[in-house]
Amino acid sequence: MADREFRLHDGKKGAALAIRVTPRASKNEIHEIQSDGTVKIHLTASTAESKLNQALIEFLSQVLGIPAEKIEIVVGSNTRDKLVSVLDLDAEMVHQRILEHMA
């Protein structure tokens, strides 16, 4: 192994968000940020997986001010608890934009 040369490459840069979605709400909103950092989001979309996931991506796109193509549900596409990847924004900027939206 000592003779092997390793080459590291930069990966995509961004942030990850833990999200808990509540469907069929009266309005789309960031409800709260829990103590563990999970962002609770209420969406008007139904519980149909594809509609809820698409509504979440579109809502986050508006909140964060980035194209929907930069947002991906990495884990939890079939559940209310999701891990979402956000490209081209660091965690600090994502946090700041979420707080601004809540104000």
Annotate 59-84 with DSSP letters as a single string: HHHHHHTS-GGGEEEEE-TTSSEEEE
pTM: 0.86
| Residue 50: per-residue pLDDT | 85
Number of domains composing the chain: 1
Whether 7 maps to a domain, the answer reads no
Domain CATH code at residue 61: 3.30.1200.10
Counting residues of the chain whose pLDDT is more than 90, the rounded percentage is 78
Whether 96 maps to a domain, the answer reads yes
- Residue range(s) defining the domain that contains residue 19: 14-102
What would the pLDDT profile of 27-86 be if each residue is shown by its tens digit? 999 999 999 999 999 999 988 878 999 999 999 999 999 999 999 999 999 999 999 999
The answer on pLDDT for 99 being more than 60 is yes
Give me the chain's average pLDDT, please.
90
The answer on pLDDT for 9 being more than 60 is no
Whether 2 maps to a domain, the answer reads no
Whether 8 maps to a domain, the answer reads no
Whether 23 maps to a domain, the answer reads yes
Instruction: Output DSSP code: residue 42.
Output: E
